[in-house]
A and B are shown apart, each in its own frame.
Chain A
Amino acid sequence: MILLAKIISYIGLGLTVVPSILLLFDGFDDLQYQMLAIVGMVLWFATAPFWINRTSEEEG
């Protein structure tokens, strides 16, 4: 379950930054990457709380 949450979280981070890289090479238009950034944000905040603090405490 945690692994799945982590995978979705990282997809969310990817959607936040990758479209902006592709934008440099004309791969996206403005609305597309802004929508993807929102989707990325939702995925990250919906899943990261399930593992990120736990990982920090375990690591500590």
Chain B
Amino acid sequence: MSTNLAEPEVPVTASTDEFEREPVPQRKLKGWRSFIGMFAGEHAAGTEFAIGPLFVVHGVSAFDVVVGLLFGNLLAVLSWTFLTAPIATKTRITLYYQLEKICGPRLVNIYNLANGLMFCFLAGAMISVSATAVGIPFDMRMPLLNEWLPNSIGWVVAVLAVGAVISLVAAKGYETVARFANVAAPWMVLVFLACGLVSLSYFGVDSFSEFWTVAQEKIWTGNPLAGSSKFGFWHMVFFAWFANMAMHIGMADMSIFRYAKKWQMGASSFTGMYVGHYMAWIAASIMYAVQLDLNSENTAVAPGPMAYNALGLAGIICVIIAGWTTANPTIYRAGLAFQSLFPSWKRTRVTLLAGGLATAGALFPALVMQLLDFVALYGLVLMPMGTVIIVDHYFFKKYGLLDNLAEKTGIRFNVAAGFTWIATLALCLLANIFLGIEIFFLGLPAWFLAAFLYFGLSKMYQKKLNVA
């Protein structure tokens, strides 16, 4: 999962207010190193510690994890490279400004609300992750896999304390934390790796052939824990591909790649997908397998104790920092999204509101225990608007339709785009309920559905407006 927010972090731009409504000028463009470093750091978030264990919970096999994630992460890199970066480097504007040009300010406000809420829940998961580390010195009982409600006073106090600190810091602005996150990122990535290696040593692995045997028999056994559904190869492929769907196919990372010197720099996302996601998820899986091997009753997906078992104090501090540095900008961004809806509210107030929502969500361990589904939902909800941008950019002029409709006609709500968004999500919900299609597999057909809907509806809508 990423904290990869709508705006770039410090290495890409020093200010979050730069070029909000104008293309990034040539002199501000960045090279490969900026993007490679930023992706590696931003995709080693606190939530990675929770995602890896959930693969074990859902009984994936060793082959499913090792090969499925390899393939899925490659598809994610290709999506950034061939979908996001080319449009970003051509327009050099943010996702929000591009959406406003196509959809009009009213629809963008609704998008901001959805985005802000999703950010709050994502930050909530990160707060939960940090709380599991903060609770260790107090011998706090960690929520077990099937405990979806707050399970103790200790848990509530830990979450409220972490949530309060993160929200207050976010309300002060996020530049300082972003700089600290920049410092912490290389160390965190290596702590993830160290935790995985130490956990492997627990199983007595000291060669690749031993690793594969242990991987099949002790880590990813293919048997889900009681009460959990079974995941397979394609779950891994689609989860890895769509974990950041909002960012690549959903086009949120236009805001980042608008700074890229050339579109090929979209490939720099490989560091985030392989150093961050692939390695971190596998390491976290191994840590959880050690925990289950020590006590099969202990099903808690609690990154704090897992990291403590592996690396001691350094592990605890890593989990706290990983949760904090990623929740902080997420809450800040949620605040900005809400502020666009209530422009008269002070930023401090909306950021604290976002922090409060995130903390309230974090009280419920269900947010972490169901993190795989939430991550998939997050991408799916925002993806149709990215599809609108792609179709508008590549196909409208070619087929005689007016691109950037709202900018050129002055409409405040592009009905074709709005209906595309709602209809796509409604049909996905129906497919999930009545056809039983799992959320991980809805993203791909939904993309094509959104594309055809937007094109067809725009033909009718623009004819009605007499602009086509």
A49 in contact with B197 (CB, 8 Å): no
Q: How far is the CA of A49 from the CA of B179 in the complex (A)?
A: 9
Instruction: Tally B residues with Cβ within 8 Å of A.
Output: 34
Q: Quick one: CB contact mask for B163-179 with A, threshold 8 Å, 1 for yes?
A: 00000000000000001
Q: In the complex the two chains form, is A23's CB within 8 Å of B201's CB?
A: yes
B314 cross-chain contacts in A, Cβ below 8 A:
16, 34, 37-38, 40-41
Asked if B183 and A53 sit within 8 Å, CB to CB, the answer is yes
Contact between A37 and B194, CB atoms less than 8 A apart? yes
B194 near A56: Cβ-Cβ < 8 Å: no
Residues of A within 8 A of B183 (CB): 45, 48-49, 52-53
**A45 to B187, alpha carbons, bound, how many Å?**
9
Chain B contacts of A40 at CB under 8 A?
A: 314
Check B33 for interface membership: any CB of A closer than 8 A: yes
Chain B residues with CB below 8 A from A57, complex form: 10-11, 14
Q: Does B31 contact A (CB under 8 A)?
A: yes
| In-complex Cβ contact of A24 among B180, B187, B197, B311 (8 A) | B197
- Residues of A16-60 at the interface with B, using a CB-CB cut-off of 8 Å, are 16-17, 19-21, 23-26, 33-35, 37-38, 40-41, 44-45, 48-49, 52-53, 56-57, 59-60
Chain B minimum-CB-distance residue to A49: B183
Chain B proximity of A59: nearest CB distance (Å): 5
Report which of B12, B182, B187, B205 forms a contact with A41, defined as CB distance below 8 A.
Answer: B187
Chain B 1-44 interface 0/1 with A at a Cβ cutoff of 8 Å (1 = within): 00000000011111000000000000000110110010000000
- Provide the bound-state CA to CA distance between A31 and B10, in Å: 37
With most chain A CB atoms within 10 A of its CB, the pick from B191, B193, B206 is: B191
Is B200 interfacial (CB 8 A cutoff)? yes
Cβ of A59: which chain B residues have Cβ within 8 Å of it? 11, 30-31, 33-34
Residues of A within 8 A of B191 (CB): 16, 37
**B190 at interface by CB-CB < 8 Å:** yes
A16 to B34, CA, bound (A): 24
Residue B292 CB within 8 A of the other chain: no
A34 touches B313 (CB 8 A): yes
Tell me, yes or no, whether B186 is within 8 Å of chain A by CB: yes
Partner of B194, one of A17, A44, A45, A53: A17
Interchain CB contact (< 8 A) of B11 among A23, A33, A60: A60
Cα separation A21 to B14 with both chains bound (whole Å): 37
Contact of A17 with B198 in the complex, beta carbons under 8 Å = no
Nearest B residue (CB) for A34: B312
Task: Give the CA-CA distance A42 to B37 in the complex, in Å.
Answer: 22
The interface residues of chain B lying within 8 Å CB-to-CB of A38 are: 312-314
Chain B binding surface SS class:
helix
Contact with A along B195-224 (1 / 0, CB 8 A): 101101100011000000000000000000
Q: How far does the Cβ of B308 sit from chain A's closest Cβ, in whole Å?
A: 10
B49-78 with Cβ < 8 A to chain A: none
Q: Are A16's CB and B194's CB within 8 A?
A: yes
Task: Say if the beta carbon of A13 comes within 8 Å of chain B.
Answer: yes
Bound Cα distance A19, B314 (Å): 13
Would A13 and B186 be within 8 Å (CB), given that A38-B312, A53-B179 are in contact?
A: yes
The answer to whether B34 touches A56, judged by C-beta atoms less than 8 angstroms apart, is yes
Contact, CB under 8 Å: B190 / A17: yes
- Which of B11, B37, B200, B317 has most chain A Cβ within 10 Å? B11
> A34-B311, A45-B187 are contacts. A24–B200 as well, Cβ < 8 Å?
yes
Residues of A within 8 A of B187 (CB): 12-13, 16, 41, 44-45, 48
- Which of these, B10, B30, B179, B312, contacts A37 with CB under 8 Å? B312
In the bound complex, residues from chain A placing their C-beta under 8 Å from that of B180 are: 49
> Taking CB as reference atom, which chain A residue is nearest B315?
A37
Residue of B with least CB distance to A47: B183
Bound: A45/B191 CA distance, A: 13
Chain A nearest CB: distance from B205 CB in Å?
A: 7
23 A-B residue pairs with Cβ-Cβ distance under 8 Å, sorted by A, are A12-B187, A13-B186, A17-B190, A17-B194, A17-B197, A19-B194, A20-B198, A23-B197, A23-B201, A25-B206, A26-B206, A37-B311, A37-B312, A38-B314, A40-B314, A41-B314, A56-B34, A57-B14, A59-B33, A59-B34, A60-B12, A60-B13, A60-B30
Known: A13-B186, A37-B191, A57-B10. 19 other contacts (CB 8 A): A13-B190, A17-B190, A17-B194, A20-B201, A24-B197, A25-B206, A33-B311, A34-B311, A37-B194, A38-B312, A49-B179, A49-B180, A52-B183, A52-B186, A53-B182, A56-B11, A57-B11, A59-B30, A60-B12
Residues of B within 8 A of A (CB): 10-14, 30-31, 33-34, 37, 179-180, 182-184, 186-187, 190-191, 193-195, 197-198, 200-201, 205-206, 311-315, 317
- A-B interface, 7 closest residue pairs, ranked by CB to CB distance from nearest: A34-B312, A37-B314, A20-B194, A56-B11, A20-B197, A17-B190, A23-B201
